[in-house]
Amino acid sequence: MKYAVIRSLATLAFALGGTAAAYAHPHVWAEARMEVVIEGNAVTALRHVWRFDDIFTATVILEFDRNTDNTLDSDELEEVGSVIRESTAEFGYFQSVTKNDEAAPMMPPPVIQTDLQDGRLLVFFESRSMPPMPLTGKLSFGVFDPTFYTAIDFQRDEDMVSEALPTHCKRSVIRPDPDQLMADYADNLDQFFYDTTDTTDPNGLFATRLELNCSKAEG
């Protein structure tokens, strides 16, 4: 089916049902960069760049290259971005954002842009916080596909950018142990399903994430 590969970024595991999704494994890989945009004493947006593997890129070219010139022209790239935006919307565009361990809302990106560079598909977009998120308490930012179909990897801590971070905030990059998390997830599955008072999003626990711990700002 046309566009099935891109749509599967966010839909595959839902067909598995029950606990099977927790044991799905990635079929698509992307190197990521995320910038936490700080203006004054608040986070105002996240900027993302995803660089997909060459096999996935080749499949996307095959499906979207309408004029069969073995590349993607501007209108074809625009269509790829539109399909990715549509297919990941239900999952918050793979963003995991919390403030003091509570989910923090982010606005949908107005557009997702794509490009081809060195034989790899690039995806980049900006999502603004709603409203701006004050730099107080604990803030956490990550990128994660809850269906486990796409592995989004921050290869270096420096790929999670927090320029203009004020002095009352300290940053740390958290890289969870996936094997231990899988075991913990399976052991506590009943709690995730049946404890309706627990507002924790288990998906966010699997994400490599940037944590900002901020004391009260001076002044």
Q: Cβ neighbours of residue 153 under 8 Å, at least 6 residues apart?
A: 29, 30, 31, 32, 208
Of 216, 140, 215, 133, the C-alpha closest to 176 is 140
Q: What does the alpha-carbon distance between residue 204 and residue 96 come to, in Å, rounded to a whole number?
A: 6
Residues linked to residue 212 through DSSP beta bridges, in sequence order = 139, 171
Q: What does the alpha-carbon distance between residue 71 and residue 80 come to, in Å, rounded to a whole number?
A: 12
Q: What does the alpha-carbon distance between residue 83 and residue 6 come to, in Å, rounded to a whole number?
A: 7
Q: Give phi and psi for 117, each to the nearest 5.
A: -140, 125
Model pLDDT, residue 176: 84
Cα–Cα distances in angstroms (integers) from residue 162 to residues 37, 47, 64, 102, in the given order: 7, 11, 35, 21
Q: Cβ neighbours of residue 25 under 8 Å, at least 6 residues apart?
A: 148
Query: What token pair was written down for 188?
Result: 């506590």
Distance of CA 176 to the CA centre of its chain: 15
Model pLDDT, residue 149: 85
Query: What token pair was written down for 95?
Result: 């963003």
pTM comes to: 0.82
Q: What does the alpha-carbon distance between residue 88 and residue 85 come to, in Å, rounded to a whole number?
A: 6
Of 92, 114, 113, 116, the C-alpha closest to 104 is 92
Q: Summarize the chain as % helix, strand, coil (round to 5).
A: 35, 35, 30
Model pLDDT, residue 21: 46
Q: What does the alpha-carbon distance between residue 156 and residue 124 come to, in Å, rounded to a whole number?
A: 18
- Kindly give the parts of the chain with pLDDT less than 70: 1-25, 178, 180-182, 184-205, 217-219
